[in-house]
Structure 1
Amino acid sequence: MEINTRMEISAPASEIFDAFVNPEKIGNFWFSNSSERWEKGKTIILSYEEFEANVPIQIMDIRENRRILLTWGPISDERAVTMSFTQVDEKTIVEVKEVGFQEYERLLTDPVLAEVRTYEYEEIINNLMGGKGGWTFVLACLKAYLENGVTSLRTGLLR
């Protein structure tokens, strides 16, 4: 299973790439902060101060100004996230693809788990839709930050 989200942002790919990997910028649109600059092979801790949460991510690959590949999530259901940056004139198309969700897929397709599936179906769909909504919100906050200097949008989301 996968989640795909795309958005056009009026900024060069280099500026968008730097907003993600630079710990001094990420707090303007996504997590409160990042433990360090993102580089291939590093484990980074992203913090959400508003929710008192820390999220470890592993940077699997980076192609400067073009792509970031990271993994996150529980070991039993680790997910891979690819962020791609395609510049077209003065704009950049940002695409986020998150793949994984093996546990959800197993619950939805294993006939032995039909009873569990009925019970958990709504939760699974809500989590997948929440992931899509989450990436849409991240990209909207990034767009507001880079195009208009808005840095407070990310803190307005309520649980």
Structure 2
Amino acid sequence: MNSNVYVEAQMLIRKPIEDVFEAFINPEVTTHFWFTKSTGKLEEGKTVIWEWEMYGVKTDVTVNQIVQNQLIKTVWGEPSTHVDYEFREMEKGTLVVIKSYGFSQKGEELLKTINDNTGGFTTVLDGCKAYLEHGINLRLIEDKFPQK
């Protein structure tokens, strides 16, 4: 495992921390800016399945820890990696920081994974900002790799 390698994406979302935190644990909100289906709300100690129907992809997401309005620690993907979501209350809203780490890839494959994670989580945060601040689903995930 590449223990000193991690990806970090962040975004200020101009909404109260409770609303932003809820957007990441409640699939009724999250499906407006990220995955299309989930088997349930994120709860500590549980595993849910997230699905991106337009790509025919799904993954198990195990929730290791939740600290209300502060932190969500998960493990997901294939090969699995740790993904932490940190929420920090700021004067103008909520700073969301997503960190992905625990990569098993090496060399060129690791570089590709880092690039994919950086772009993917940045897209998620952009979509979340648009949805929570303006009520707009930009369909960013769906349009990132459009079907022919």
Normalised by the length of structure 1, the TM-score is: 0.83
Does structure 1 residue 130 correspond to structure 2 residue 116?
yes
- CA distance in 2 between counterparts of 1:6 and 1:90 reads 15
Q: CA RMSD of the aligned region, Å?
A: 1.4
Letter in 2 for 1:137: T
Bigger-Rg structure (1/2): 1
CA distance in 2, matches of 1:158, 1:54: 16
Match of 1:94 among 89, 96, 102: 96
More helix by share: 1
Which structure shows the bigger proportion of residues in strand conformation? 2
- Of 133, 145, 148 in structure 2, the residue corresponding to residue 158 of structure 1 is 145
Residues in 2 aligned to 1:129 and 1:73: alpha-carbon distance in whole angstroms: 15
Structure 2: runs of 5 or more not aligned: none
Q: Once superposed, which parts of structure 1, at least 4 consecutive aligned residues long, lie more than 2 Å away?
A: 152-156
Question: How many residues end up aligned between the 2 structures?
Answer: 141
1:56 counterpart = 2:43? no
Contact 2:48/2:60, CA 8 A, preserved across alignment: yes
Q: Does 1:68 align with 2:55?
A: no
1:156, CA displacement in angstroms? 2.2
Distance 1:5 1:84 in 2: 11
> What is the identity percentage for the equivalent residue pairs of Structure 1 and Structure 2?
30
SS at the partner of 2:94?
strand
How far apart are the structure 1 equivalents of 2:6 and 2:13?
23
Are 1:85 and 2:87 counterparts?
A: yes
